[in-house]
Amino acid sequence: MDQKPKNELDFLLTANRLKNTPRTGWAVRGVSDFESVADHSFGVALTALTISEMIEGSFDREKILTMAILHDLAESVTGDLSLGGSRLLPQGAKAEAEERAMEELLSNMGFAQRWTRVWLEFENLENDEARIVRDADRVDLLTQALVYERTTGTVNLEEFWQFAPVKSFHFAESRGLIEQLLERRPRQK
């Protein structure tokens, strides 16, 4: 039977919005040419894969990459909320909205349950794969902050560095990357 994948196509069209969904925290801080959520998701996937290779051990890299791609997928419905905006919401409101967005995005698709389970593993930091992706999410954030500080002269990005201090990372390898990023930061005035 030749079934047309209507639900999957609708999903892909909605997810495509991430290519044009701005990472609003950069805009709020005066960065003029800033990345999209899709740009960030690529950075997280590449960073997570890199970190998983740096750490001694055996990891499910398919799960790592799936988590990295899915970690901000809900933002294709909710949009990106900056650190400053998130703190103004009632506790748990952002997480609840993202969970509802994921349910909406994945409804009526055969893989919805599997993807939702992997996304929730990430959200709840249930395993080393999730912790690798969480570290990668923050390493990518600070890598991008360094790039903006170096290339745009934007110097008011301190809140991003404070959001992800070295001690907040799960793996020594991730902390090492952050220490190197800090060494390469332009002198702050």
**What are 50-98's pLDDT values in tens digits?**
999 999 999 999 999 999 999 999 999 998 887 777 778 888 888 899 9
User: Which helix (H) or strand (E) element contains residue 143?
Assistant: helix 128-152
Q: Tell me the three state secondary structure of residue 180.
A: helix
Determine the Cα–Cα distance for residues 158 and 25; give it in Å rounded to an integer. 12
Residue 27 C-alpha from the chain's centroid: 17
Place of tokens 């934007």: 154
Q: What pLDDT, on the 0 to 100 scale, is given for residue 85?
A: 77
Q: Tell me the three state secondary structure of residue 36.
A: strand
Under 8 Å between Cβ of 47 and 66: no
Q: Which tokens in the block code for residue 160?
A: 């991003």
Instruction: Name the band, by pLDDT with cuts 50, 70 and 90, for residue 1.
Output: very low
* pTM exceeding 0.85: yes
Instruction: Mention every residue, 6+ apart, whose C-beta is less than 8 A from residue 41.
Output: 18, 68, 69, 71, 72
- Cα–Cα distance list, 175 to 71, 84, 163 (Å): 21, 25, 14
Residue type for 1, please? M
Determine the Cα–Cα distance for residues 158 and 135; give it in Å rounded to an integer. 19
Compute the mean pLDDT over every residue in the chain, rounded to the nearest whole number.
91
Question: Average pLDDT for residues 157-183, to the nearest whole number?
Answer: 94
Domain annotation for the chain: domains and CATH numbers: 6-184 (1.10.3210.10)
CA geometry: angle at 23 spanning 116 and 148, to 5°? 130
**What are 103-155's pLDDT values in tens digits?**
999 988 889 999 999 999 999 999 999 999 999 999 999 999 999 998 887 77
Q: What pLDDT, on the 0 to 100 scale, is given for residue 52?
A: 97
Q: What pLDDT, on the 0 to 100 scale, is given for residue 188?
A: 61
Instruction: Name the band, by pLDDT with cuts 50, 70 and 90, for residue 189.
Output: low
Q: What pLDDT, on the 0 to 100 scale, is given for residue 108?
A: 84
